[in-house]
Structure 1
Amino acid sequence: MNASEIDRAQFLRRTAGLGLLAGTAGLTAFPASAAAAPRRPRLSLKGVAYDVGTGFLGADGRPWWRDDVMRGEIRAIRHRLHANWVSIYGSDVRRLTETATAALDEGLTVSIQPRSFDEPQEAQLAKLRAVAIEAERLRRCHDREVILAVGCEFMLFTPDIIPGANFFERIEYLQAGEFDMPELQRKFRVFTARMVKVARTHFNGRITYGAAHDLENVDWSLFDIVGLDYYGYHEDPAGHTQELARFRRWGKPILILEFGSCTFTGAPELGGMGWDIVDFSGEVPVIPPQYVRDEQTQADHLVNMLRVFTAEGFLGASMYTFIAPDAPHRPDDRPHDEDMASYSLVKVLRKDSADPASPYRWEPKKSFHAVSDFYLTRR
């Protein structure tokens, strides 16, 4: 299959068929290298993730893109959500740079992360170089901090670490269960070190990485900040403390680059697999009848997790994600309300809900208001 032919439905259909989790548990052990960092009950960076368009095997994750729309969304993040940090990610260097500029102009701290599926390693290195140069320019021109995230979940997204010609073949290889994990981790660390070298050469601010928290054995000594994509679920906050404790051993600030929940009853328990409720087997996506739209559940989970991260004394947390234009809300068509399987804080109403390149408007969900209240009272 040609990479350009993979659309969102195809991507999710094939990924669901392979049983992919946002983080695959039990594949590796983690190091214990440094003394535990002291805990401070404060969340300095209160953020949200913002996708400028992540390439799914060559496709544009946001085919309808306008700078004025982006700037309006950034203003909403600053002045209506009351965030002080935006975690910007995506595949297009120009969009990353322009969005980061807009965020800095609004007084937001910025992290910038180039992200795509299946780009060759050399292409990723070249893209990171371009992003690092732009990030350094922005860092020098603005009073707010710019953090560079060198990438995200390389073991799954990047060729030539895990065998496989594409993302799906790499997942199939892992599922087969016959692999040499130390060798895979060695290749992962070699590529990560190359990315860090590029970042350090062209960027003088703090750097981090978006790690699958229960898959990748990251050498955090290379980074200034431990960065995690964390979708763990525990009814008791002590469970999160226990699960995240191993990352304190590096003695570095911890930044949650992603966490979140979809918008239906029971979604928090599914963590990074909440999107998997959609049935893509037919011509149009369908939400099975057993799932009930539930904005309050999403709102409660996000606030609970923000309280956890605050109590843990982490540097910051950004929920995934502000907006998901590829999962439109269909208020009068419940079986096709893809927003139920979305992690976004706002619901997207497209002019033509069947056309991903159609213009849209958005409305806040209950989670938007809940997070806004949390951020506003903790300035």
Structure 2
Amino acid sequence: MQKPAGITRARFLAGTASAGLAATLIPSGTARAAEGRPGLRHRGVVYTVGAGETPGTAFSTARMRRDIRVIRDGLHADTVDVTGDGVERLTATAAEAAERGLRVWLQPTLGDVPERDILEHLAETGRFAERLRRQGAAVDLSVGCEFWLYVPGIVPGDNVFERIRNLQDGHVDPVAMQRRLDRFTARAAAVGRSVFHGRLSYAAAQEDQVDWRLFDIVGIDYYSYFTDETAYVRDLSRYLRWGKPLAVTEFGTCAYVGAPETAGMGWDVVDRGKHPEEIKGYLVRSERTQATYLLQLVDAFSSLGLYAAMAYEFVTPDAPHRPGDPLHDLDMASYSITKTVQDRPFDPASDWHWEPKEAFHALARRYARERRHAGRG
């Protein structure tokens, strides 16, 4: 599902924390020694296949195919996290990635519709993933992400906006919420198992309570920030306590000074009540800040020998970069490792192209190094 304007999963987490609903995990343990670790097993990037918010950013099969080739040959990734809604978009992108020899992490994320529709959307996508797997493709299936944000009925509210308001206002029973979340997660896992016979996972927020016995791979969207780089290793180690492979299903930050310190709230610098939308405050664009943070995290992932890590995200078409116009440079609030440039700024029908940010180049060099390391292993 494409994220609603002005809302992200991070914002919903902030709401749950204020309502006292965030689960307490066990304290971070002593980091495991990095010596002898095999490195990051699978290195990837999130590729969202939403319908687009404007005519100019509608999904394009031709553009997707070009992007997949760049992900493989330019970014040196071996995995692409194909996520979003629309079975045709998901399956076309997954098939293209598999044909190009990439490992596919397929994650349907339909939301704000009845549960039966979400589960059928998952089943259709999972059946296609199974066909790819039987044809010899490397495929992992994730049954979705943070259901309590997107699935109606877990948190009161007819849409994401109402759920957030109810959380922030304390109109939520945390015990009932967790019970409903557990029930739907178990249903989704059962649907996934019924149609897909490879490894199954789910993308959870960092503070979620999940019964990981239902899944083969622990999946975490990771946005922590520490001044001490070794703290990332200690923090991540707590997710290894289930004795299962760990995949970081999202990691990243925005391209301005101070963005990593927001710990996943870097997006919240846009005044979406203005037309056109404006950046709030006086931000200093810094692609170097974004690149440095991503490399710090990849170092931690590699030292722990994680199963996979997927940078969030490859491109964000609806957050254009406007050089020389910091008030409207929405790319600063994007987690994309590329910047979207419109042919005709402020025209919703305008064509566009992307250009690599420093984060793209830094990640490409690091992923190439991980690939060489894997080849020696």
Fold shared per TM-score above 0.5: yes
**How many equivalent residue pairs?**
362
RMSD, aligned CA: 2.6
Are 1:229 and 2:226 an aligned pair? no
1:36-55 → structure 2 map (5 Å cutoff): 40-53=37-50
TM-score by length of structure 1 reads 0.89
SS at match of 1:324: coil
SS at match of 1:276: coil
Residue 27 of structure 1, aligned match among 15, 21, 25: 21
Residue 148 of structure 2, aligned match among 143, 155, 159: 155
Residue 114 of structure 1, CA deviation: 0.8
Relative to structure 1, the CA distance from residue 20 to residue 203 in structure 2 (aligned partners, 3 Å threshold; closer, same or farther) is: closer
Residue 97 of structure 1, aligned match among 91, 101, 118: 91
1:184-203 → structure 2 map (5 Å cutoff): 184-203=177-196
Q: Which runs of 5+ in 1 are unaligned?
A: 1-6
> Which letter maps to 2:195?
H
Are 1:361 and 2:353 an aligned pair? yes
Residue 239 of structure 1, CA deviation: 2.8
Aligned to 1:332: 324
Aligned to 2:65: 71
Are 1:321 and 2:318 an aligned pair? no
Are 1:213 and 2:206 an aligned pair? yes
TM-score by length of structure 2 reads 0.89
> Which letter maps to 1:113?
Q
Aligned 8 A contact 2:155 2:172 in 1: no
Q: Deviations over 1:48-82 (max 9, x none)?
A: 00001168xxx689842221111000000000000
Which deviates more from structure 2 when the two are superposed, residues 335-344 or residues 286-295? 286-295
> Which letter maps to 2:321?
H
% identity of equivalent residues: 46
Q: Distance in 1 between matches of 2:250 and 2:56?
A: 19
Q: Which runs of 5+ in 2 are unaligned?
A: 372-377
SS at match of 1:332: coil
1:98-177 → structure 2 map (5 Å cutoff): 98-142=92-136, 144-177=137-170
Aligned to 2:375: none
SS at match of 2:5: helix
Q: Deviations over 1:161-187 (max 9, x none)?
A: 111122112112211235332221111
Relative to structure 1, the CA distance from residue 308 to residue 22 in structure 2 (aligned partners, 3 Å threshold; closer, same or farther) is: farther
Residue 375 of structure 1, CA deviation: 0.7
Relative to structure 1, the CA distance from residue 140 to residue 98 in structure 2 (aligned partners, 3 Å threshold; closer, same or farther) is: same
> Which letter maps to 2:168?
Q
Q: Distance in 1 between matches of 2:74 and 2:15?
A: 32
SS at match of 2:332: helix
Q: Distance in 2 between matches of 1:113 and 1:333?
A: 36
Residue 31 of structure 1, CA deviation: 6.7
Q: Distance in 2 between matches of 1:197 and 1:30?
A: 27
Residue 287 of structure 1, CA deviation: 1.7
Q: Deviations over 1:270-308 (max 9, x none)?
A: 132111111223211112352011011101110111001
Residue 250 of structure 1, aligned match among 242, 251, 254: 242
Runs of 4+ more than 6 Å apart: 36-39, 59-62
